[in-house]
Amino acid sequence: MEIKLITKDNFSEVIEIYKQGLATNVATFQNDLPQWEEWDKGHLNFCRISIYDNGKMIGWASLTPVSSRCVYAGVAEVSIYIAQDERGKGVGKTLLAELIQHSEENGIWTLQSGIFAENQSSIKLHEKCGFRLVGYREKIGKKNGVWKDNVLMERRSNNIGID
């Protein structure tokens, strides 16, 4: 497997995997596929990584800022998506571990994830990578007219921001 950066050139592969995540109805509140310009603007310009196997993208992960306030500059929210046929094979753990390393290299001290409560595979993946449950938000938003509960998880770096 090979880690590559996400760029405009491979964004169509990102969208294909994202579309598979949307189809589960437990991955995101979003229903629409973003264009490159929108996605590029909303994500940090570092920690945009994808994982390839035999030349095919099988997963991707990225970070978005949680706030524009300078005191939260080291806090980011994780997005991670794995191709449908690759789920449950350890790809997510490899990719999330790589994202954690890249985030620390770029000064991020806290990673957080908001995960639908019924998405147990994502919750377990985050736990395996050192995330802990910090909250539960009941009926935080609707997905296709259905209220969804959200689990808030975070991972605090042992290397960055420990002074």
Number of domains composing the chain = 1
Going along 2-158, which residue ranges are E strands? Answer: 2-5, 49-53, 56-65, 75-82, 110-116, 132-143, 146-156
Collapse the DSSP code of 133 into the 3-class scheme (helix H, G, I; strand E, B; otherwise coil) and give the result.
Answer: strand
Tens-place pLDDT, residues 107-151: 999 999 999 999 999 999 999 999 999 999 999 999 999 999 999
Q: CA neighbours within 13 Å on the CB side: how many for 52?
A: 10
The answer to whether position 129 is within a domain reads yes
Q: Residue 56 and residue 50: Cα distance in Å, rounded?
A: 10
Collapse the DSSP code of 37 into the 3-class scheme (helix H, G, I; strand E, B; otherwise coil) and give the result.
Answer: helix
The answer to whether position 162 is within a domain reads no
pTM listed for this prediction? 0.92
Residue 16 has pLDDT above 90, yes or no: yes
Of the candidates 43, 62, 57, the one whose C-alpha atom is nearest the C-alpha of residue 86 is 57
The answer to whether position 17 is within a domain reads yes
Query: Residue 131 sits in a domain of what CATH number?
Result: 3.40.630.30
Q: Residue 36 and residue 80: Cα distance in Å, rounded?
A: 17
Tens-place pLDDT, residues 29-48: 888 999 999 999 999 999 99
Give the domain extent around 12: 2-156
CB distance 115 to 77 below 8 Å: no
The answer to whether position 161 is within a domain reads no
Tens-place pLDDT, residues 50-109: 999 999 999 999 999 998 898 888 999 999 999 999 999 999 999 999 999 999 999 999
The answer to whether position 149 is within a domain reads yes
The answer to whether position 124 is within a domain reads yes
The answer to whether position 125 is within a domain reads yes
The answer to whether position 42 is within a domain reads yes
